[in-house]
Homo-oligomer: A and B are copies of this chain.
Amino acid sequence: MNPVTPAHADSLRALLSPDRVLTSDEDILPYSFDGTAALKVKPGAVVFPKTSEEVAACVKLAREADIPVVTRGSGTGLSGGSVPILGCLVICLTQMDQILELDEKNLTLKAQCGVITKEIDDLAAKSGLFYPPDPGSMKISTIGGNVAENSGGLRGLKYGVTRDYVMGVQVVLPDGTLTWLGNKCVKDVAGYSMKDLFIGSEGTLGIITEVLIKLLPRPQSRKTLLALYDRMEAAAETISAIIAAKIIPCTLEFLDRTTVQCVEDYAKIGLPTDVEALVLMETDGHPAVVREEAEQMMQLARAHGARDVLVAADEAEGARLASARRNAFSALARVMPTTILEDVTVPRTELAHMVGFIRACAERHQVRVGTFGHLGDGNLHPTFLTNERDHEEMHRVEAALEEIVNETLRLGGTVTGEHGVGLAKKAFVRRQLGEGSYELMRSIKRALDPQSLLNPGKIFDL
């Protein structure tokens, strides 16, 4: 594999335009890292195509010169998926930012990959429609990045994740071929589901240039509750009782004591800082159903030992309560120089056990961890508050992480629920998947990208 040379940069400038090719140190610095702690590598050049054809042309040029390519949207990723390879070509897709079509009759939306995710839901909302996936980064992350990472969000249990809303993707393959996979048909079984292979492939198999998204009617109403617990087990029992009552809320989020304390320090919402668990619950849909489910959830929370249950009177108060959860990561991130955000996920029934395990593990290794996450879908974000310059502490963090991963896998869980593998989880994937499944994945990469041109070294080594 070769680095980008000045001659390559000139070819790229001729292909795009001079202002859309960056090569100087100060220009490319912002593209040498993403949202992941402690990972930084300098690329050789950063280009900003505006069309799918320009992306294909860049890939062909890189292929002929054997230059590795790393794709990038807004760079909000938390697993190092868009961290460059030294000297590589970074294709930054933020200028491919056009929404191409809103088809209200077929409930679909077509957009270039660089459109900000929230803009899609905002436009849908104007027509009474709804794009449910809401990753924490949705105000700044791109839809193409969301699709490449198969991003989750706070509504996984009821509405699923990004994959569930992708009807089609236009991709540039490693050989520069531009092709559409999928269409507007609600049912289609003509051949393998190639789009599903690219969703969540983290830029290792192709570059997603356009997406065709499925929309839903927007829920007519929503109700927000906040339940406070002195014991995590009581919170978990409430969730089980809600599911047993055949209620599927759109949101079931929780914060542990450390996280609540940091949030209250940061956002002054007025939360009691002595609770063991704070659970945010939301139900949405038809007003009659929402009223009924909110009432049931309140009663179930009380019956299962909630110290207090706050019910938002209106949307504004609901948003205020929800801000406790929305602020969790920012609140934790300001405590210490380095924040390592984990993403383990277990079957929902194992959640209370897992939260307890994480707490005990942190105590054992004397590291500071705040845990928050998605109770409805078993996705936990234990967040290590540390300092990457304190090598001794970092060793303890790593030891704690190793134990958390082992316990996750023992419970039938996954090392990443929504952040992706990238570089950060690479060491654990083989153990999770087992040899057969792991080798299967690598054989797909070899077949589609024999030169290992796209995002080499991410997810696995070949």
Contact = CB atoms under 8 A, between A and B. Distances in A.
A418 interface: yes
A412 B289 contact: no
A246 B187 contact: no
A161 B167 CA distance: 13
Interface in A168-190: 173, 177-181, 183-190
Contact of A173 (B197, B244, B288, B436): B436
A378 interface: yes
A428 to B, nearest CB: 8
Contact of A289 (B191, B286, B437): B286
A443 interface: yes
A201 B190 CA distance: 9
Interface in A428-457: 428-429, 432-438, 440-441, 443-444, 446-448
Interface in A110-163: 128, 149-150, 152, 156-157, 161, 163
Number of copies: 2
A450 B285 CA distance: 50
Given A106-B347, A106-B348, A286-B289, A193 B199 contact: yes
A349 interface: yes
B185 A345 contact: yes
Contact of A191 (B181, B413, B421): B421
A187 B379 contact: yes
A414 to B, nearest CB: 4
Contacts of A240: 105
Contacts of A440: 173, 179, 181, 194, 448
A53 to B, nearest CB: 14
Contacts of A105: 240, 243-244, 348-349
Given A192-B200, A288-B286, A413 B345 contact: no
Contacts of A436: 173, 177-179
A189 B418 contact: yes
A417 interface: yes
A377 B187 contact: yes
Given A217-B246, A246-B217, A418 B289 contact: no
Contact of A183 (B200, B412, B444): B412
Contacts of A196: 193, 196-197
B447 A187 contact: no
Nearest to A418: B187
Contacts of A163: 193
Interface string A23-45: 00000000000000000000000
Given A217-B246, A289-B289, 12 more contacts: A105-B349, A128-B246, A181-B437, A184-B347, A185-B417, A186-B378, A189-B416, A189-B419, A190-B416, A217-B248, A444-B447, A446-B447
Interface of A: 103-107, 128, 149-150, 152, 156-157, 161, 163-164, 173, 177-181, 183-194, 196-197, 199-201, 205, 216-218, 240, 243-244, 246-248, 285-286, 288-289, 292, 345-349, 374, 376-379, 412-421, 425, 428-429, 432-438, 440-441, 443-444, 446-448, 459-460
